[in-house]
Structure 1
Amino acid sequence: MGRKWVYEVVKYLPVEELDEEIKKLEKDTRVFQRLYFIRRLCRGMSVEEVAGLVGVTKATGYAWLKRWNSNGYEGLIPDFGGGRPSKLTEEQKEELREMLKEKDSWTTKEVQELIEAELEFGVIYSSWQVRRILKSFGMRYARPYQKDYRKPDNAEDTLKTLDDAEIEDDVNRIYR
């Protein structure tokens, strides 16, 4: 059995102030969880024990401790990278948005082709990414229903007259 290592915890805040910060930040669960972790360390528990209680790996626990010891409270606030920058500039996105407003309904494929060919942005997007762009514009996409190119313009009227004729035939058969 290995020996437990005891790491020193720099006490930037008294435990009582940690408790107050925890109460204030219960909505921000990530910071809350990390402050809870540090509070347990301040009370003498090991990193391994507290990591098990909080539900994170030992490595994450040690990373939190290191961030706390180097930066205090600020070190526990998550700092997200933000992801890859967009292939389209803001001006190109605005141009695309204006083009999309010209027509009522677009399929994802049509928007994809618009970006690739007509607008000549030199960018290729997957249909999944096109849907994300549409969502960022506040637009919704839907799967188009199939239209039969053979359907006559007066199909509804024809159907209604056929239905009326069938009802008449049924009534005549019943009362004969």
Structure 2
Amino acid sequence: MPSWEPIAIKQHVPLPVLEQWIKHHDGSAEVLRRLLFIRLRYKGASVASAAESMSVTTQTGYNWQERWNAEGRAGLNPKYAGGHPSKLSSGQKEELRECLHEQDHWTISEAQQRVQSRFGVSYSRDQIRRILKSFGMHPAEPHVGEHRQPPDR
């Protein structure tokens, strides 16, 4: 017997239509999992048990149901937030681009030090590499001398 849920599932479409959506789904696996979750809710499963069946937390189940109730099928599409905001403003990035074009070759460490000294911002080596790539630049490899060659070569 289904337990009482504080937020009921809205049945935007009849169960047979939902079953057809699942059967003929050719989109992302994420949306299919959410449709399967909704089907379990239609059939009387609690949010907690339906979420457990989909290997997600109960809170995620409530989030999926809330979006389904508000938007129907469209609410099940993933909504990506876009990541953490940049430490540098777009103006500072443009200034950095100009600054880095003053010289032909930059190592990751040199670019990292330039950003730190000029803007007071610390970026990881990977992030500096991504920034250089976004500028159409490729980091230079530091020159390593051949240790077996004579020093006067």
Kindly provide the amino acid, as one letter, of the partner of residue 40 in structure 1. Answer: L
Alignment-derived partner of residue 132 in structure 2: 134
Q: Classify 1:116/1:47 alpha carbon distance in 2 versus 1 (closer, same or farther; 3 Å).
A: closer
1:44-99 deviations in Å (ceiling 9; x for gaps): 33333322221112232233223322332233233333233223233432343344
Counterparts of 1:37-52 in structure 2, within 5 Å, are 37-52=37-52
Q: Classify 1:52/1:85 alpha carbon distance in 2 versus 1 (closer, same or farther; 3 Å).
A: closer
Asked which structure has the greater RCO (Cα within 8 Å, sep 6+), the reply is: 2
Runs of 5+ unmatched residues, structure 1: 156-176
Alignment-derived partner of residue 100 in structure 1: 100
* CA displacement at 1:4 relative to structure 2: 5.2
* Alpha-carbon separation, structure 2, partners of 1:96 and 1:34: 43
Cα contact 2:2–2:44 (8 A) shared by 1? no
Stretches of 4+ aligned residues off by more than 6 angstroms: none
Runs of 5+ unmatched residues, structure 2: none
RMSD over aligned Cα, in angstroms?
A: 3.2
Aligned residues: 148
Normalised by the size of structure 1, how large is the TM-score? 0.63
Structure having the larger proportion of residues in helix: 1
Counterparts of 1:16-165 in structure 2, within 5 Å, are 16-22=16-22, 26-117=26-117, 120=118, 122-128=119-125, 129-141=127-139, 144-147=142-145, 151-152=151-152, 155=153
Greater C-alpha radius of gyration: 1
Say which SS state the counterpart of residue 5 (structure 1) adopts.
coil
Say which SS state the counterpart of residue 72 (structure 1) adopts.
helix
* Alpha-carbon separation, structure 2, partners of 1:39 and 1:138: 48
Normalised by the size of structure 2, how large is the TM-score? 0.71
Cα contact 1:108–1:127 (8 A) shared by 2? no
